[in-house]
Structure 1
Amino acid sequence: MGRRTPKKKSREIYNAWNQTCWIKGVTVNPMVTLEYNEWWSRRVNDNISRPNLEEARSIEEYLRVVPSELEIIKQDFKKKTSELEKKIEQLEEENVYLKLDVDL
């Protein structure tokens, strides 16, 4: 009795698989009708999802760069500093008016 090596095992599996596929091809193909092929292609194509145009975005939106957290923080900081500078100017003006009132 000879030993079955892994190479022989894999060849046996390969041959068995090929034989099964060959048998399926021989037995199934002559039985398939034109109507079945048309039905199958419609069925397959119906299962393919179509893009939803309502949710579609333009190319510009896809290519738009999303700012990083650091950039967002910088923008917020600039806004707050400009607001504070305006408040400081207002307070300085009020201070000047108050000094003028005191001098009178």
Structure 2
Amino acid sequence: MEEEKMNLRLDANVQKLEAERLRKGKTKAEDDLDSLKTDYKKLRRSMRTAGLGKTSEQWREEIQEEKNKANIWERKFQELQT
């Protein structure tokens, strides 16, 4: 009977240690996930700032706007020359 109690206590201790190991692993995984989410948000923000997240259509529109601005300045410059 004493041996059985001792075995049960050992089993309980092993289960507690295993549960603690799993909790620590879960906490680390959650921390890693939070870190990845933060890094992803920073990357997306950097891409938007640098204009890397634009579609082809957005790039075409931006280029057309810049061409229009350049044409306006060119016309103003030519008017000043005459």
State the TM-score, normalized to the length of structure 1. 0.37
**Over alpha carbons, which structure has the higher Rg?**
1
| Bigger proportion of residues as helix | 2
State the TM-score, normalized to the length of structure 2. 0.43
Larger RCO, structures 1/2 (Cα 8 Å, 6+ apart): 2
